[in-house]
Structure 1
Amino acid sequence: MNYRLNNLPERTVKPRGKGLTMVMDKGLSLREVEDFIEVAGAHADIVKLGWSTSFVTPKLKEKLKLYRDADIPVYFGGTLFEAFVIRNQFDEYQRVLDEYDMRFAEVSDGSIEIPHEVKCQYISKLSEQVTVISEVGSKDEKKIFAPYKWINLMRAEIEAGSWKVIAEAREGGNVGIYRDSGEVRQGLVDEILTQIPEETIIWEAPQKAQQVWFIELIGANVNLGNIAPAEVIPLETIRLGLRGDTFNHFLNKK
Structure 2
Amino acid sequence: MKAWAAVFPHANEHCCKPRAAGVTMMIDKCQGPKATADVLAMTGDYIDHWKLSFGTSALLDEDLLRDKIAAVCEHDILVYPGGTLMEFAVLKGVCRDFMRRARALGFNGVEVSDGTIYHSAAARRDAIQFALDLGLTVVAEVGKKDPRHQPSVEELADQALADFESGASWVIVEARESGKGVGVFGEDGSVHEQDVDIIATALNSHLDRLIWEAPLKNQQEYFILRFGADVSLGNIQPRDVLGLEALRAGLRFETMKPLVEKLEQHRR
TM-score by length of 2: 0.90
Unaligned runs of 5+ residues in structure 2 are 264-268
Aligned-residue offset at 1:181: 1.4
Corresponding residue number in structure 2 for 1:176: 183
- Residue 208 of structure 1 deviates from its aligned partner by 0.6
Q: Which residue of 2 aligns with 1:147?
A: 153
Opposite residue 60 of structure 1, the aligned amino acid is L
Instruction: Could you list the structure 1 runs, at least 4 aligned residues long, displaced by more than 6 angstroms after superposition.
Output: none
Q: Which residue of the partner structure matches residue 237 of structure 1?
A: 246
SS at match of 1:165: strand
Partner Cα separation in structure 2 for residue 7 and residue 42 of structure 1: 16
Between the aligned partners of 1:214 and 1:5, the Cα distance in structure 2 is 25
Matched, 1:190 2:182: no
User: How much does 1:243 deviate?
Assistant: 0.7
- How far apart, CA to CA, are the structure 2 residues paired with 1:84 and 1:147? 27
Offset at residue 179 of structure 1 (A): 1.5
- Alpha carbon RMSD of aligned pairs, Å? 1.7
1:72-124 Cα offsets, whole Å, 9 max, x none, are 22111100100101010112112212321221100000011112232122112
**2:96/2:130 contact within 8 Å kept:** no
The code of the aligned residue for 1:89 comes to V
In 2, Cα distance between the equivalents of 1:39 and 1:99?
28
1:164 aligns with 2:170: yes
How many residue pairs align between the two structures?
253
Structure 2 CA distance for aligned equivalents of residues 27 and 245 of structure 1: 30
3-state SS of 2:223 partner: helix
1:9 Cα deviation from its structure 2 partner: 6.7
The corresponding residue for 2:108 is: 103
3-state SS of 1:31 partner: helix
Structure 1 unaligned residues grouped into runs of 5+: none
More helix by share: 2
Out of 17-26 and 109-118, give the one that drifted further.
Answer: 109-118
Report the Cα distance in structure 2 between the residues aligned to 1:121 and 1:179, rounded to whole angstroms. Answer: 33
Classify the secondary structure of the residue corresponding to 2:51: strand
- Alpha-carbon deviations, 1:169-189, whole Å to 9, x = none? 011111112122111121111
Distance 2:11 2:70 in 1: 34
TM-score, scaled to structure 1: 0.94
